[in-house]
Structure 1
Amino acid sequence: MGVDETFALSVGDRLRSIEDRLTDSAFGQTPFVTEAASHIINAGGKRFRPLLVVLGSRLYPGADPDAVERAALVVELTHVASLYHDDVMDEADLRRGAESANHRWDNSVAIMVGDFLFARASSIVATLGVDYVALQADTFARLVQGQIAETRGPQAGDDPVAHYLRVVADKTGSLIATSAVFGGMVCGAPTEVLRALAAFGEELGVVFQLSDDIIDIASDSTGKTPGTDLREGVPTLPTLLVKAGHDPADARLRQLLSGQIADPDVLAEALGLMRAHPALAAARAEVERRAHLAKDHLAVLPEGDAREALLELCDRIVSRTT
């Protein structure tokens, strides 16, 4: 059916208003706090989570535009705050193409700025009601536990692939699910629809991350330097699938995947081997499988532009990997 142009334009208008308020939300009591808290926000981003709030809020008529924007601010501020902490833990030098906050200032500043933005999100979610606060708190707990699990890595007896997928669900899927649910809550969606939005968002979040895993290996036209995760030794679904195998022909590739890769020539070799390996096709198949599951959850939603937009969003994420 496709999404009506007027609907798409109105969603764009709402997202621009959210963007303006996002900048305002980062203002602190001193110019330095404002500068540091605005650093990642000003670097841009997909604003994927606010988009889900807006689309979810259009499933039923009557959503208060201000409440929609406040809900979107909560999820995006939470996401941005988590990036400050992630960069400290990953010792990152760059974030969204710009110097990371921990590199520009130091780890302590980056951690405290992340805390400041979490506090801002908490202040805003309190204006929406107790149910929103409870969901936000549960989501935050999952984010933290996902980060802890990622930091510790799989333990004895754990399947590394299953462990990785649990981490992705907690670190990425949980907040994307909450974004969709917040949108439904603002427009008064019934419980059955809210449950469907949560299940949809959880799968969509995993699809979103796994598609990034594939792009890191398969594409050099997205603005992201190919092989970034390979170079830094970051586990991804395709590399974990290779490591899980026992084919003697993969011995060289498994050796290359055993740690970081500093040499550009060695990185090029690893990329070439990964691009030719069946694990990449298997990862793509997993992305498509999960995208289908996500779309199936939308069957209970009312027909209309909002549901169509959510379905199209799934397709766009999958298409990034082909």
Structure 2
Amino acid sequence: METLPAELKHVVGYHVGWWDAEGRPDLDTGKAVRPALVLASARAVARAADVDANHDVVKAAVAMELIHDFTLLHDDVMDGDRLRRHRPTAWVEFGTAPAVVAGDALLAVAIDLLAQRDLAATAVLTRALRVLCEGQCADLVFESMADVDVSACLRMASNKTGTLLGAACELGALMVGATADRMRRLNQFGRQLGLAYQLADDLLGIWGDPEVTGKPVYSDLVRRKKSLPAAAALQSDSPAGREFAHRYSSGTELEPYEFDELAALIELAGGRRWAEEQLAQCCDAARASLAAAQPDPARAEDLVTLVDLVTSWR
């Protein structure tokens, strides 16, 4: 962060939760799941038990967190989200252009960190970014469509969220000299974990407690997003699903009381149950991919714990 110009550093520091808009210390940071995955994956397959002093591993972990914050800064602008972690988003506080440029700067710094190591590490990240952009593009397109195939929504979520988590796990393994097969298995673990993470996030976006999520109640319904539970309800071909589709696709502005009704319709149409079942299946698939990577059992405990941590939503 110290390499950034003062103006960008101020925006980024506010976004990540180090200080408030005036620069006063105000520590309220995110969960740091992606760097945790880099470190935990490296520990799980390294020849030596202690990898925390491995500068390549630490750089990869930092790069993944910078990339995550780059995507959040841009996502908040694209989605028009005004709150993150209970306070105004960076674009609301500082303007759209500073928020976008701050995100661009984080992307450049992250790539530079990995480029200092070698081309293989950089390629893992850039390949993931291309897939992520594909998922982000699909997410934006889906918002203007009346009906979206559930399988297309799952593919979008896997690309948008799972790709970076997969890259984080793969990078951790790469930095400690793991075999190509182990890297591939850990990437699969991360992608499945990422899809489970998105399912949990989508459930929170409709039924989550704003005090916990830091976002307004029914934030996804307000934007009429084709979140995974909503997409499942739209495709249910049930009376509740058809009613939900009619009201969700109408151009009329929704009254506050209607969001309770829309959430109830999604549940009646089976969208919530389907998402919860998919979440459980993704967690099982993630655990199976992790086992296939044959990690050291004791040093893989952090990865097992992360599956439960990041997919818990109730």
Q: TM-score, normalised by structure 2?
A: 0.86
Give deviations 1:260-314, integer Å, cap 9, x for gaps: 8642211122223334442211111111111111111112323323322222322
Distance 1:185 1:271, change over 3 A: same
Q: What residue number does 2:161 align with?
A: 172
**Cα distance change on mapping 1:205 and 1:26 into 2, 3 Å:** farther
Corresponding residue SS for 2:300: helix
SS of the residue aligned with 1:92?
coil
Contact 1:26 1:117 in 2 (8 A): no
Q: 2:39 aligns with which of 35, 38, 54?
A: 54
SS of 2:259 mapped into structure 1: helix
How many Å apart are 1:178 and its aligned residue? 0.7
Instruction: Tell me which residue corresponds to 1:19.
Output: none
Contact 2:235 2:241 in 1 (8 A): no
Distance 1:252 1:167 in 2: 25
**Residue 236 of structure 1: which of 205, 209, 227 is its match?**
227
Instruction: Please give the root-mean-square deviation of Cα atoms over the aligned residues, in Å.
Output: 2.3
**What one-letter code is carried by the residue in structure 2 that aligns with 1:35?**
H
In the TM superposition, what are the counterparts of 1:1-322 in structure 2 within 5 Å?
Answer: 25=1, 27-29=3-5, 31-42=6-17, 43-59=28-44, 60-62=46-48, 63=51, 64-153=53-142, 160-220=149-209, 223-224=212-213, 225-258=216-249, 262-300=254-292, 301-318=294-311, 320-322=312-314
Secondary structure of the structure 1 residue equivalent to 2:212 = coil
Q: Which deviates further from its counterpart, 217-226 or 309-318?
A: 217-226
Whole-Å separation in 2 of the counterparts to 1:222 and 1:294: 29
**SS at structure 1 position matched to 2:178:** coil
* Offset at residue 239 of structure 1 (A): 0.8
Alignment check: 8 A CA contact 1:26 1:38 kept: no
The AA in structure 1 aligned to 2:232 is L
Looking at structure 2, the residues matched to 250 and 112 of structure 1 have their Cα atoms a distance apart, in angstroms, of 41
Q: State the Cα distance separating 1:205 from its structure 2 match.
A: 0.5
Alpha-carbon distance between aligned partners in 1 of 2:273 and 2:106, rounded to the nearest angstrom:
39
Q: Give how far 1:243 is off.
A: 0.6
TM-score (norm 1): 0.84
CA offset digits 1:38-94 (Å, max 9, x no partner): 221125111000110110111224434322211111111011011111122112212
Give the % identical residues. Answer: 26
Unaligned runs of 5+ in 2: 18-27
Paired positions, count: 295
